[in-house]
Amino acid sequence: MARPDLYKTLGVDKKASAEEIKKAHRKLVRQHHPDRNPGDTAAEAKFKEVQAAYDVLGDPEKRKQYDRGGLFGGGAGGFGGGTAGGGGGFDAGSFSDIFSNIFGGGTGPAGGGAGTRRGPTGPRPERGGDLEASVSISFQQAIDGAQVPLQVPTSQTCGTCRGAGAKPGTSPTICPRCSGRGIEAQGQGLFSISQPCRRCEGTGTIVEHPCPTCGGSGATRTVKKYRVNIPAGVQDGSKVRLAGKGEPGRHGGPPGDLYVLTRVDPSPIFRRKGDNLEVEVPLSIPEAVRGAEVEVPTLDGRKTLRVPAGTKHGTVQRLRGAGPPKLGATGTRGDIHYRFVIDVPTELSKEQSEAVERLQAVLTGDPRAQLFEATT
């Protein structure tokens, strides 16, 4: 059988885009659909030919194989011979059957036997699912980094069936409903839609004799123990990714990842503000007015800060590079912001009240200030 020109079948150029191929397919399907051409065998044959061509050109991977000449070749691995009538062309029904055998598996004369054979693609490898767990750490551990234990319920490949899901001595079989393709088409008017096969749930195979250990799932539940390295500088809600520590993949697919969520205990002194820390420093009224030197906490002990005279409530003084390490920026640290809060007493003694009145009189230029001086 000559290698069919699928682009010619759809009436598009070999460099046509996926959208152009899709539009051409829709147009030809509407034109040759059996519902629109009842009793027209030629239209039915053309319809099958168009569908078979789109089955290849509409799939990026199959199209690549076809463009490389890997689907229709002569010799032992190709498809030789003519149609049932002995001509040099090909029959649309046989053409469709060929694609079924190539990509889905099925019973046919090309196999030379009565058994069902699997297409070369088989079930597609599936990446395993991601997992998420949380760990609680202290504020100091978040600043310095730490190694903490973690137990994670997860799945692992079944040791009895090695992930196949079938009882030892048996194998999964090709799904008879979808012929191993994992999808099935349902007609709706002039169009058909594809969806995962209801029999095999899209895997392309069914397990007739499930493994007694895993019940046919190919995996068993277990609890894995890890020592997780928490980097210095994490915050409450940060995620640490452990690549390949998630659920195992199916059909040879890679495992997922494990994301560890950090829950950081609050500090009684420092408050986290992004890459920085904030500390409230109380000042008395005289310290705010006259200025002072006050001791403030740091991550490494205590330090003396100079408060300038006339400091207002809420003024912030920054200590650069004294904060927590910055994630993803080796060797750099955030800052500590010291926010000055003026401590105003809620109750005053008689002496304190008189002192406040004298101060007010002096600051406002009240003539009573001289009277206060005379009485003291």
Does 158 appear as a known binding residue?
Answer: yes
Residue 13 CB-half CA count within 13 A: 3
In the chain, the amino acid numbered 82 is G
CA distance 46 to 9: 9
CA-to-CA distance for 102 and 123, rounded, in angstroms? 13
- Residue 316: pLDDT band by 50, 70, 90 thresholds? very high
What is the pTM for the complete model shown?
Answer: 0.55
Closest CA to 238 of 213, 264, 216: 264
227 or 204, higher pLDDT: 227
The Cα 46–Cα 28 span in angstroms is: 9
Q: Is 336 annotated as a binding residue?
A: no
pLDDT above 60 for 51: yes
The answer to whether the annotation marks 197 as part of a ligand binding site is yes
Q: What DSSP element (H or E) covers 139?
A: helix 139-144
Domains and CATH numbers, the chain: 6-103 (1.10.287.110), 271-342 (2.60.260.20)
User: What is the reported pLDDT for 299?
Assistant: 94
Share of the chain above pLDDT 90, in %: 39
Backbone angles phi, psi at 116, to 5 degrees: -85, 135
211 is in an annotated binding site: yes
The whole-number average pLDDT for the span 168-188 is 80
> What region does 82 belong to: left with phi over 0, alpha with psi -120 to 50, or beta?
beta
Burial of 366 (0-12, 13-18, 19+ CB in 10 A): middle
Sheet bearing 276-283, strands edge to edge: 271-273, 276-283, 336-342, 316-319
Matching residue, tokens 């994630």 = 327
Centre a 10 Å sphere on the Cβ of residue 10 and count the other Cβ atoms it contains.
24
Beta sheet of 239-242, edge-to-edge order: 131-137, 258-264, 239-242
Q: Are 258 and 242 in contact (CB under 8 A)?
A: yes
Task: For residues 56-66, give the mean pLDDT.
Answer: 88
**What whole-number distance in Å separates Cα of residue 258 and Cα of residue 95?**
46
Would the annotation count 277 as a binding residue?
Answer: no
Q: What pLDDT score was predicted for residue 78?
A: 39
Q: Is 214 annotated as a binding residue?
A: yes
- pLDDT tens-place string over residues 243-288: 999 988 877 788 999 999 999 999 999 999 999 999 999 999 889 9
Q: Is 287 annotated as a binding residue?
A: no
More confident residue, 58 or 95: 58
C-alpha–C-alpha distance, residues 149 and 226, integer Å: 6
Strand runs labelled E in the chain: 131-137, 146-157, 173-174, 183-188, 191-196, 205-206, 219-230, 239-242, 258-264, 271-273, 276-283, 292-298, 301-307, 316-319, 336-342
Q: How far apart are CA 325 and CA 338, in angstroms?
A: 18
By the 8 A CB rule, do 327 and 240 touch? Answer: no
Distance CA 308, CA 288 (A): 8
* 303/338 Cα distance (integer angstroms): 12
Quick one: DSSP state of residue 206? E
200 assigned binding-site residue: yes
pLDDT at 348: 81
